[in-house]
Amino acid sequence: MRALYDVPAPAKINTFLHIVGRRADGYHLLQSVFALLDWCDTLHFELRPGPQLSREDLGTPLPADDLCLRAARSLQQATGCPHGAHITVSKALPSEAGLGGGSSDCATTLLALNRLWGLGLSRTQLAAIGLQLGADVPFFLFGRNAWVEGVGEALTAVDLPPTPLLIAKPVAGVSTAALFSDPRLCRNTGLAILAGFLEAGFSFGHNDLQPVAQMLCPQIEEAIAWLASQGLQARMTGSGSAVFAPLTTPLGAHAGPDGLLLHVCSTLTEHPLRGWAKG
């Protein structure tokens, strides 16, 4: 029986997130830089001779029909593949964090099953399937840190040096749907250019979702204030509730407030599975 074990699904942060408009169908147009992290979920894939798909959770239980199973089913339907798989998921990334954990698991599933089933699809073909499952999935299939536009599908590779970060995740989460439907959300930030980000780095821009998220989840503001007390400039990633701060010096032996998960990690220069599919 063929299998792929210990397959990583890395997190990401939005170094900034500007909402620059809204399409007629209601989808928001954004600009952002997505940066991959060395903080990962771990997945295992075992080939099944028939078309059956199954999933086992090690630790945090996932929804019955999660993005991994939906990705596998979509790949079967798109290719007519007769094979099945048993997927085991070991979650390390917190949910409702803005770290892209579910989308990353989905992308890793597409990459791994493309290899396990011998399908030979390109990253572009996989991204077309992934976009139907989630706006962030094409980024994780892209394989590089990226300047992101549109609804998340327009990607331009960006070279970022490895940067140590402190991630702080409050226990409480934020509903992405509630954020994007909130009438207080700013939807008309002016267009930025990539050169501006390349000049300013992680200090560039802001997160348009953060003010509303802080109103819906006060623990976000408390996390940012605690990081400021440690001399760190923090910003929310994505739709939150996790916030991040670049580390210019090694982190001292500080414990965060009760209810705040702290994790030290680093940005990656590329996705660990970048070579698993051709362009």
Which residues are catalytic, by number?
12, 136
Of 110, 156, 151, the closest CA to residue 130 belongs to 110
Q: What are phi and psi of 180, to 5 degrees?
A: -70, -20
| Residue of 79, 9, 11, 82 lying closest to 44 (CA atoms) | 9
Opening angle at CA 123, ends 268 and 43, nearest 5: 60
Report strand pairing: 84-90 vs 53-58.
parallel
Buried b (16+ CB within 10 A) or exposed e, 112-144: bbbbbbebebebebbbebbbebbbbbbbbbbbb
Tokens for 224?
Answer: 């940012």
- Is 59 buried (19+), middle (13-18) or exposed (0-12) by CB count in 10 A? exposed
Q: How far apart are CA 119 and CA 109, in angstroms?
A: 13
